[in-house]
Amino acid sequence: MNILSKYSKLFDLGFQSTFVYRWNFILRSLFGIVPLIGTVYLWRAIFDSGSGQLGGYDYSKMLMYFAFTVLVENLITPTEDEWQIAADIRDGRISMSILKPLNYMAYRFTLYLSYRTLYTLVILPGIALIFFFLREHIVLPTSMMTWLAFTVSVIMAGLIQFFIAFSLAMLAFWIYEITTVVFIVFSFEYFLSGQILPLDLMPAWFAGFIKWAPFTYELFFPVQILMERSTGIALREGLIIQTAWTLAGYLLATAMWRAGIKRYQAFGG
């Protein structure tokens, strides 16, 4: 109960710190859905100039894909977590956390969860409004099993994103400035998670990499579940691979934390 109370206070602290910069937070939340407006007009032009079908997607399915992508992205994407953690390491504030009876990764995850919860509460009305305007194109699943699989997948997608962000931040124990590495990883992540276009539109020779890459399971796979394009054996295989990447992400983040702390303490941190 003491542990639960401790982390619930941290969760509340995350809420309070977010509202210190409430206008920045609110504006970021509201304008986070603006790119979808451009996407609507872009794909309308593409389909109007073509045959009306693209890799199994028509105009409605493509809009539904990007609407669901915006939903999932806003539910799980870390916001500056890697920069904040790296700053704690670089500025020496990590020393206070080491001295406290507190698991630092659990502490950062609690703050991440707090921010995502608040962000979701703010952004959902806007997403609901978008879904209303696109109601002719969006079909929500009626199967409870689909919603259950989607919920499990989204939770693991959030964990994968957090562990990647945490692992990148751990590089600050060895590198003073991690910006270049972070942007390189984020560039691959942006392309290979399905934010630009559905990954099943990629060339066939690339399909094997997509299936086994961790970025696929951050965004594309949960959206495919919600669209009921991933079912049966493909769904089970996807959830198994996503589980494996979640565990791998945790092990990597934990290993880098332990190695980093040893280095930090060895140099008198």
Please check the confidence at residue 101 and state whether its pLDDT lies above 90: no
CA dihedral angle for residue 54, residue 57, residue 59, residue 65, rounded to 10 degrees: -130
Cα separation, 102 vs 97, whole angstroms: 7
Q: How far from each other are the two terminal CA atoms of the chain, in whole angstroms?
A: 32
How would DSSP label each residue in 228-266?
T-S-HHHHHHHHHHHHHHHHHHHHHHHHHHHHHHHHHHH
Positive or negative CA dihedral for 231, 233, 234, 240? Answer: positive
Q: Stretch 253-266: mean pLDDT, rounded?
A: 87
CA-wise closest residue to 169 among 111, 224, 235? 111
**What does the pLDDT look like over 108-135, one tens digit per residue?**
898 888 888 877 777 777 788 888 888 8
Q: Stretch 216-240: mean pLDDT, rounded?
A: 95
Name the DSSP letter for residue 213: -
More confident position, 265 or 46: 46
More confident position, 154 or 28: 154
